[in-house]
Structure 1
Amino acid sequence: MEDPSKSFKSEDNLGNLASWSTITQTTSQTITKRDRWKGKIDFLIACMGFSIGLGAFLLPYFVSVIVAGVPLFLLEVALGQFMSKGAIAAWDICPLFRGIGCASTMINFLVNSYYTVILGWAFHFIFASFSKELPWAKCGHSWNTNSCIDAVVRTNLSNSTSLLRQHIFGADPASEYWENRVLRISNGIDNLGTIQWDLALCLLLAWTIIFLAICRGIKTSGKIMYITATTPYLFMIILLIRTAQLEGALNGITYYLKPDWDKLTDMTVWSDAGTQIFFSYAIGLGALSALGSYNRYHHNSVRDCLLFAGANTFTSLLAGFVIFATLGNMSYISNVPIHLIAESGPGLAFIIYPKALGTLPGSPIWSFCFFIMIILLGIDSMVSEFVHYYFFKN
């Protein structure tokens, strides 16, 4: 990145030179006080915390990466790197837009507020995995209803699609464990219920770990993210090897890779792909500017941007293989089409996947691997996004 003050040498640009001199002088004063990444790949490792997203839309996904993801990612990182300031103070480059930094910080706070809730759920499930038999594998517990069934018998769907769908999503032990044991869903919004102390303690544990990871700034968080950003790949590969050996897994992977050209005309698909990119790249959250501000002035952020895009795409594809191999096995067992089983959001991580893991030999071990992966990914994302709260004034 070229020092901008070198571009203004003529007398005709004295006004511009004065403006740039003010900015670069302020920047140079900040550089002497601000910490720097210790290694060349520390920044890239930190950004990889955003690259984990369970699902991709292939063609719309790749188009969104090229059109929006890479350019906006580079723009935010370059702004923080040039100004050597956090999400809010970086907009001193144009004080009129300082409100953008304030808005992005507020959005980041709101997003992290529910990210930690998901992290708390994952802690609950990983503690529940320390048992001889997973509690959501079978019925017969206090939270199960009379309509709960242990397994779905393979039948022909020609006349019973709705019945099977009800069994799979409404009366199986995994769904009832999630709704009646973990969430304890009330019968209406007017009935708030009581505090679930087990979840409250899991949430407290999540916040405590995040605080300990970021309390000393990038000196601590940079080292932690080496573990939290790379270890999940090991667990994903282990899960992929295991799920690929299941019956019907190939059908799920084929379904994942086979494009549905008719859906390309559906704007909802493109909107969802764009949303996925903005979340997985952390666009507009202010975290990228904050992370980039720890780079040295001449750091090659373009190279890091391209490497990050490649890592993000690889991660999404790898996670997709793991998920759809599992869905293929569930489709084979229940004789239900994959598109009726597939579910997005928390239901995928806390109903569908636990249900599949409960059918495997040694299910507590596989459940532990899956949820420790979710926890590491969540911690990595949270640490990457929360780092700039300590430095947004600098």
Structure 2
Amino acid sequence: MNRERRKRERDGRDGDRGQWANKTEYILVVAGNVVGLGNVWRFPYLCYKNGGGAFLVPYGLLAVVCGIPLFLLESSVGQYTQEGFITCWRKLCPLAQGIGYGLMMMKLYDFSYILVQVWALFYLVFSFRSQLPWASCDNTWNTAHCLGLKPFNSSNLTATQATSAATEFWERRALAMSGGIEELGSVRWELALCLLACWVFCYFSIWKGVRSSGKVAYFTATFPYVMLLILLIRGLSLPGAWQGIYYYLYPDLNQLTNLEVWIEAGSQIFFSYSLTAGTLNVLSSHNEYNNNCYKDCFWLCLLNSGTSFVAGFVVFSVLGFMAQKQGVSIDNVVESGPGLAFITYPQATAMMPLPQFWTVCFFLMLILLGADTHFVTVDSAITSVTDLFPRLLRTQVRHEIFVLFVCSSFFLVHLTLVTQGGIYIFLLIDYYGCTRACQDFLAVCQCLALGWTFGANRILNIIEDMTGQTPCIFFKLCWKYIIPLLTLISFISYLVDYKHLRVNDWYVYPDWAYALGWTMTLSSVLMVPLWAAGQMGLTPGTFRQRLSILCRPVEAPAWQKENREEGETVELRTPAVTA
């Protein structure tokens, strides 16, 4: 009781940082964040492309040696420090605070993924029409090359000329694509209204911090599973569904010798588990100190991977049906990313009875999956900035104004994404700003800072102290050796195999766009060495003395200050550095 009273007094001085109302809210928000679009449009395609059922071998192995250990590491650090992904390093290893600023840069680029919600909302509105506009070629935007839902045959157009009605709706109606990034064109007012609606929803999801986001997650984190179940049942009942599932899971063991398959499996783990993104750190920082993050880690990772696996049945059962209806092989209809969500799947649902119902279910699921991930991304960035300036931003009124400022500012910035050339900007940000190389580099730095400088043994002791469970020594080996080695290999592989971004295999960006892309990549990567070099230059003393000072926590976690005020001593929580 005395500790709780002191905590309330401290929060009264610096503003209430906020904690989850209950464990359920925390689980739902984290689940909503990690279970996102990557589970639906990325994992099934990667599985099909990289050996079917054989892909589950590298995916499962890397989930064990990289995914779960990093998930536990980031969650436990947030719960231990009770800080965002920038200020937490003051209580761990100040020299590595550049990692936090690198994560902040990646977060700003991640905000652009709201565009997926915008597109899904746009499609949702059109889904209520009696005739789905992507099901026919009788619209003003269609060309003479439009094929509609008819199967391709020699009496129609040549293969190089033919385009589906769904493709033309996507490119000519939804996006109204210009010739390139040099031709931004006008703002698409319909997409701009959808963008405004998405940012308004984001604002009211996070305007009161965890007190509002936790409540919103009751709906946004659970309803997509209802939609997924409905679509799964419908998909499995379609003719040709099992042929699609066969293509999804048929094992090609020869793919296991391909290094690129292993790298893509690791990339999918990082992407879908939200690793090296800072969000796990922030979400866990709102937990009680004694929350069992060790057990949470296993269940949440299992939920994420299980959802990815089930989503493959949803996607490929429908693709199998579509291939049978058109009289083509699965290879001709399977796609990943936006092509799957906004061309292939809408075209497939248009072939079903009651197409409007299935289309509405699908796009509602996409909107909620994207919304969950997006508002958590924005909130984690805002929380980390607030932790940098607690006295200025942590009062409720100032916090709400700051959230409004952030949402309004990025709405205006993102208007460039809903122009006729906006898709080219979005793809550039996706390819360079949120690239695998940034995640790999920050993962290496994070493991070196925590596993070696702060000390893997100390982290294990902290987890045991928080949860009452002794973590397996295997996690220590992963943090210190396995994860840094594997992510370094992936980082080098990215640099060696780097290829310029192209759109539809025909559009090549101008040189200035590629320079801008690499600037985005380096803006997060260089934060780590630049911050370390700056701190070393500003700290007095010899090189060894500076290094020793900057590798020692400059602040104690809040609960440690409370223990000192109450006269308690806890040996494992001393700030001395042990490797």
Aligned 1:1-394 pairs, distance under 5 A: 33-49=16-32, 50-52=34-36, 53-54=39-40, 55-56=43-44, 57=47, 58-92=56-90, 93-113=92-112, 115-153=113-151, 166=160, 171-392=163-384, 393-394=386-387
* 1:281 to partner: Cα distance: 1.0
CA distance in 1 between partners of 2:177 and 2:15 (Å): 53
CA distance in 1 between partners of 2:181 and 2:202 (Å): 31
CA distance in 2 between partners of 1:126 and 1:84 (Å): 40
Quick check: 2:63–2:269 contact (8 Å CA) kept in 1? yes
CA distance in 1 between partners of 2:374 and 2:179 (Å): 32
CA distance in 1 between partners of 2:259 and 2:185 (Å): 39
Structure having greater relative contact order (Cα 8 Å, sep ≥ 6) = 1
Amino acid at match of 1:38: A
* 1:130 to partner: Cα distance: 1.4
Q: Tell me whether 60-69 or 206-215 shows the greater mean CA deviation.
A: 60-69
Amino acid at match of 2:57: L
* 1:376 to partner: Cα distance: 0.7
Q: How far does the alpha carbon of each residue in 1:114-143 deviate from its partner, in whole angstroms, 9 at most, with x for none? A: x11111001100011111111101101111
Q: Secondary structure at the match of 2:318?
A: helix
Distance 1:205 1:225, change over 3 A: same
The alignment covers a number of residue pairs equal to 361
Q: How far does the alpha carbon of each residue in 1:45-98 deviate from its partner, in whole angstroms, 9 at most, with x for none? A: 111121231224322221221121111111111111000011111111211111
CA distance in 2 between partners of 1:294 and 1:353 (Å): 38
CA distance in 2 between partners of 1:111 and 1:391 (Å): 16
Amino acid at match of 1:120: V
Amino acid at match of 1:220: S
Q: How far does the alpha carbon of each residue in 1:174-205 deviate from its partner, in whole angstroms, 9 at most, with x for none? A: 00000000111113443222111111111111
CA distance in 2 between partners of 1:272 and 1:143 (Å): 37
Q: Secondary structure at the match of 1:278?
A: helix
CA distance in 1 between partners of 2:375 and 2:151 (Å): 44
Provide structure 1 residue ranges, at least 5 long, that are not aligned to the other structure.
Answer: 1-24
Quick check: 2:84–2:282 contact (8 Å CA) kept in 1? yes
Amino acid at match of 1:330: M
Quick check: 1:217–1:390 contact (8 Å CA) kept in 2? no
Quick check: 1:76–1:289 contact (8 Å CA) kept in 2? yes
CA distance in 2 between partners of 1:184 and 1:154 (Å): 25
CA distance in 2 between partners of 1:309 and 1:153 (Å): 41
Quick check: 1:143–1:177 contact (8 Å CA) kept in 2? yes
Q: Secondary structure at the match of 1:351?
A: helix
Q: How far does the alpha carbon of each residue in 1:180-238 deviate from its partner, in whole angstroms, 9 at most, with x for none? A: 00111113443222111111111111111101100010111001112111110110110
Provide structure 2 residue ranges, at least 5 long, that are not aligned to the other structure.
Answer: 1-5, 48-55, 388-579
Quick check: 1:287–1:386 contact (8 Å CA) kept in 2? no
TM-score by length of 1: 0.87
* 1:348 to partner: Cα distance: 0.4
Amino acid at match of 2:110: V
Question: What is the percentage of aligned positions where both structures have the same residue?
Answer: 40
Q: How far does the alpha carbon of each residue in 1:122-170 deviate from its partner, in whole angstroms, 9 at most, with x for none? A: 1100011111111101101111100112233376xxx99x955x57xx5
TM-score by length of 2: 0.60
Quick check: 1:331–1:338 contact (8 Å CA) kept in 2? yes
* 1:259 to partner: Cα distance: 1.5
Q: Secondary structure at the match of 1:205?
A: helix
